[in-house]
Structure 1
Amino acid sequence: MFALYVMFSSVAFAGGYDKNKQDIVDIAASNDDFSTLVAAVKAADLVDTLKSDGPFTVFAPTDAAFAKLPEGTLESLLLPENKDKLVAILTYHVVSGKVMAKDVVALDAAETVQGNSVTIDVSDAGVKVDNANVIKTDIKASNGVIHVIDTVILPKQ
């Protein structure tokens, strides 16, 4: 388990962020890999929430993760009439509190802001949140932490 923790927590994230001044939204907006996430957060009117004091833990899907969604899904979610569904999906990626990698590896589930829980699976292959692989960890923000995932996770219906 110790080796897994070391592997999970040592993944670096490129970029020289001043973590004491940038919040979760600022960090996401300053990285091209999160442009789709930032657009979705704006469309869902969640910017102010994710810029608030928090703290929050965000399992942040990359643009490549959003590209895995079935064709037309993202465009549909960004329509004003689907805002509630978009909010539900995005808040399913957020956990209250600052949960660092060393804490995530000790969990088997975490309750999201959306209300349902994500499952956390720790194995020799890495850490999964629902069906998403955690690919980068512990990107510290002034109001929480970001863990990067490779797949958009969807709330259980």
Structure 2
Amino acid sequence: MRKSFTLIELIFVIVIIGILASVAIPKFKGLTANSKIASELATASTIQSAIEDVHDEWVTNEGSFTWGNGRSSSELTSTGYPIKLGDCPPAFNWILKNSSVVDNKWTCQDNGGGIFTYRGPASQSNSGVAENGAGKPDSNDCWEYNATAGTFNLKENCS
């Protein structure tokens, strides 16, 4: 009766594990990049919804009301959209009830004329995702908020 494995059996098992690992490891390679992209897209969707909520409230009330984190209707454009989404930095403290979740992951810049650019986890120029060209945020892209139109859109190849 045999109580141990032979050397050939052990080598065979090691070869099988190596083959399985070589197939599985590439699947996990893009996991971090995909999570950054998903996080950024989810935050952008939340921002756009919050902007639309403020505008809907402006249309409904036709006057004085508070929105976001205690902001008054005087901080809206003539078309009913927020003049800006936050103090820059922090990025979204005007529009999101709990902006601290994204504060350290998003940067912003006031470009003047009601145009602001934002960069999230995937679009940071120093720690973002490599160029993907698939309409998803990467380190060459940014988000642009236009206060006049109330749009928060991904802008490809930001300078």
Output the TM-score relative to the length of structure 2.
0.28
Output the TM-score relative to the length of structure 1.
0.28
Which has more strand, going by share of residues?
1
